[in-house]
Amino acid sequence: MNQILFRNFQLLEPASGELVGGHELLVEDDRVRELSATVIKSRDAAVIDCGGRTLMPGLIDCHVHVIHSEVNIRFMEAMPLTLLTARAATRLRAMLDRGFTTVRDTGGCDWGIKTAVEQGHLVGPRLFIAGQSIGPTGGHSDGRRRTDAVEGCTCCSGLAFKSAIADGTDAVRKAAREQMRQGADHVKIMMSGGVASPYDPLDSLQFSDGEVGAVVEEARAFGRYVCAHAYSAEAITRAVRLGVRSIEHGNLIDDAAAALMAQKGAYLVANLVAYQAMHERAAALGMSPESLEKNAIVLAAGLKSLEICARHGVPVAYGSDLLGELHWDQSREFMLRQEVMRPVDIIRSATTIAARLLRLEGQVGTLAPGAFADLILVDGDPLRDLSLLGGQGRHLAIIMRAGRFHKQSLH
């Protein structure tokens, strides 16, 4: 039994949304054992004096791509899985360095990388995976050249490894079952065109009612849920009407689609930083002019989508969706959302709302007793200055995941 006692901190429990002093927190092994407004007595605990800093739950990013280490996804065609995994290790460690103790991969990361993190072979956040994202021929999951008649080999091509192509209800059903057989925590499908894919218009509709219904049916039967890449209001409406639980991106949402999401209890996972970073740097990293044109459309609509969702009470979780070397901007999402959201609500998007989406209420995104001991100690008050959650973690004195210090810079 290993115990660590934290004292002299300002508590930020996102559900309450304010800093509270005078508490102590006891960690035992990988869990929070006790959180008290009175002195906690523990003879065997190592004591950490937090020096009045802010103690809060570790952050949760609900839309990452651990293996997408190229901005131009076609470059992954020439990447062996060994290099893909090595680059994933760099990305995973950097996420934890920034205070993200849990992440949800929305296509590409497999059970091998997840298990490597769980067993300590790779350093990174707790991972929830989709396996391969699934889309139709010519859709957002189809990265082939027009001269490619067949799909590549998943054993030797990073491009083929990251996603699956399926057409028709039987094939889509089988693809979903295969991802869950391979350990998927959720199933990712494509419902509209995308920025990074070369040939599909943003407003294209991908997967029919029957295909979407088959995936949702299989996910529910397996105790999982479906998340869907969707930009347009029409694609969002189709997905949510058929039982998709979370919409990824959603930049072109309208009031009617948002009202339906609220009615169905669906989540939006927004990622404004992806489009801003691509606007600024993706051309130099190999993104095509066609993709950059599509990026400009969704970039212009990002903040408006958050306003529409707020108007209808749609829960919005934190996401980054950064490809390649853009991943260093992960924490910048906090700052971009400030134009239309309160700091406390942005923090909740990366803690309490994200925990609900992951079906881990009381386990992550909180410091309540019984939760995983995932926490960060911030040099200041993030409710007043969200930039303290940026800077590649330089404002974080402590980062703890499951009761183990990833970073401890107090003396």
- pLDDT tens sequence across 297-350: 999 999 999 999 999 999 999 999 999 999 999 999 999 999 999 999 999 999
Q: What predicted TM-score, i.e. pTM, was given to this entire model?
A: 0.95
| Pairing assessment for the beta strands 100-105 and 126-128 based on DSSP bridges | parallel
Angle at 314 (CA atoms; ends 308, 320), nearest 5 degrees: 85
CA 129-268-237 angle, 5° bins: 110
Per-residue pLDDT, 154? 57
Q: Kindly report the backbone phi and psi dihedral angles of residue 31, in degrees, each rounded to the nearest multiple of 5, phi listed first.
A: -125, 160
Beta bridge partners of 99: none
Can you give the pLDDT at residue 138?
82
**Are 212 and 244 contacting, i.e. CB atoms less than 8 angstroms apart?**
yes
| d(C-alpha 82, C-alpha 80), whole Å | 5
Spacing of C-alpha 334 from chain mean position: 13
Residues 191, 207: Cα–Cα separation, whole Å: 6
Residues 371-397 have pLDDT tens digits of 999 999 999 999 999 999 999 999 999
Instruction: List 229's β-bridge partners, or say none.
Output: 190, 248
The Cα-based distances of 211 to 1, 191, 217, 232, 334 in angstroms read: 50, 10, 10, 18, 35
> 146 with 202: CB under 8 angstroms?
no
Question: Which pLDDT does position 147 carry in this prediction?
Answer: 64
Residues 6+ apart with CB under 8 A from 115: none
Rg over alpha carbons for the chain, rounded to the nearest Å, is: 21
Helix (H) or strand (E) holding 130: none
CB atoms inside a 10 Å sphere around CB 120: 8
CA diameter of the chain:
69
Main-chain phi, psi angles of 14, to 5 degrees: -55, -30
The residue to which tokens 């067949």 are assigned = 150
Is 93 buried (19+), middle (13-18) or exposed (0-12) by CB count in 10 A? middle
End-to-end CA distance of the chain: 24
In 106-235, which ranges are E strands?
A: 126-128, 133-135, 163-165, 187-190, 226-232
CA 327 to chain centre: 12
Residues of the chain falling short of pLDDT 70: 142-156
Strand partners, 36: 24
What count of other Cβ atoms lies within 10 Å of the Cβ of residue 259? 16
Output the pLDDT for position 156.
66
In this predicted structure, what is the pLDDT of residue 246?
A: 98
Asked if 192 contacts 257 with a C-beta cutoff of 8 angstroms, the reply is: no
What pLDDT is recorded for position 158? 72
Under 8 Å between Cβ of 323 and 71? yes
